[in-house]
Amino acid sequence: MRAGSYFYLAFVRYCFAPRVLLRPIHEATLSLPSPRARGDIMRTRLASLTAVVALVAACVTDRSDPVSATASQTPGISASSWGPEVPPFNNEIILRDVTGSGGFGHVKFRQPNDADRVVYLDTWVRNLKPNATYQLQRATDTAINDDCTGTNWLTLGKGATPQVLTTDDRGTAREDLFRNLGTTAVGSTFDIHFRVIEQASGLVALESSCYQFVVTQ
């Protein structure tokens, strides 16, 4: 095709191509609704808003009351297998430093409601001597007055076998201990306190305040 033909086709496309005319906004003619039309629009929007509010109210009203009788019938997680807190079947034993070294300990004292009468003692200590061995002990008395005077110290462990707490290089140790109370009558009540001693020297490193415990089943 000759060069003249190319120029001719380009000219035709330019002349007959669709145009998009852009005008400044202030020159554009805006079509505004009449006052009556605007009123109809406002009424429509108000009706829509009223419908939305009604739907939201219905949703809120239909939500279950967490303390209602219906909600209370929903099964959930229960702590009853570990016994209620009052009488004190379970305790959070806090062991505090008596040496000025900043040691600390915690014993999670739990007795399930079952026929075994086993007390579980999840024990954790920190800020003791690193790479050392300690023992958890308890003493009881039956004068129930929150004044622990018992000196019958018993070393706790895995059942009847004493267990040491061996600290790591940061002075931390953890052991899951337990004690079988099968020979102790159900309903027996004690004042009870705990201590952690260094195994080598027998010196007390941590001790607790006085707690109460009731043997349950």
Beta bridge partners of 105: 95, 125
Nearest to 207 by CA among 118, 132, 146, 125: 125
Q: Contact, 208 vs 94, CB < 8 A?
A: yes
- Residue 124 has which token pair? 């954790």
Mean pLDDT of 99-104: 95
pLDDT confidence band for 216 (50 / 70 / 90) = confident
DSSP code at position 169: T
Q: Which residue has the tokens 């496309």?
A: 13
Burial of 89 (0-12, 13-18, 19+ CB in 10 A): buried
Where does the pLDDT of residue 163 fall: very low under 50, low under 70, confident under 90, or very high at 90 and above?
very high
**Using CA of residue 194, residue 196, residue 201, residue 203, what is the dihedral sign?**
negative
Alpha helices in the chain (DSSP H): 3-16, 35-62, 69-72
Average pLDDT over residues 99-120: 92
Helix (H, G, I), strand (E, B) or coil at 35: helix
Fold of 87-214: Immunoglobulin-like (2.60.40)
8 A C-beta contact, residue 199 and residue 165: no
* Predicted confidence (pLDDT) per residue in 16-49, tens digit: 454 444 444 444 444 555 555 555 655 656 555 5
* CB contact at 8 A, 129 and 169: no
- Please list, in sequence order, all residues whose beta carbon lies within 8 angstroms of the beta carbon of residue 99, skipping any fewer than 6 positions away: 203, 204, 205
Average pLDDT over residues 94-117: 93
pLDDT at position 112: 86
Omega cis (within 30) before 130: no
- Write out pLDDT tens, residues 165-212: 999 999 999 999 999 998 899 889 999 999 999 999 999 999 999 999
Which two tokens mark 180?
């079988």
Contact assessment for residue 114 and residue 216, using Cβ atoms and an 8 Å cutoff: no
Confidence of residue 100 (pLDDT cuts 50, 70, 90): very high
Of 169, 173, 164, 103, the residue nearest 131 (C-alpha)? 169
DSSP class per residue in 49-95 = HHHHHHHHHHHHHHSPPTTSHHHHTS-----GGG--TTTTS-EEEEE
Q: Report the pLDDT averaged over residues 64-70.
A: 36
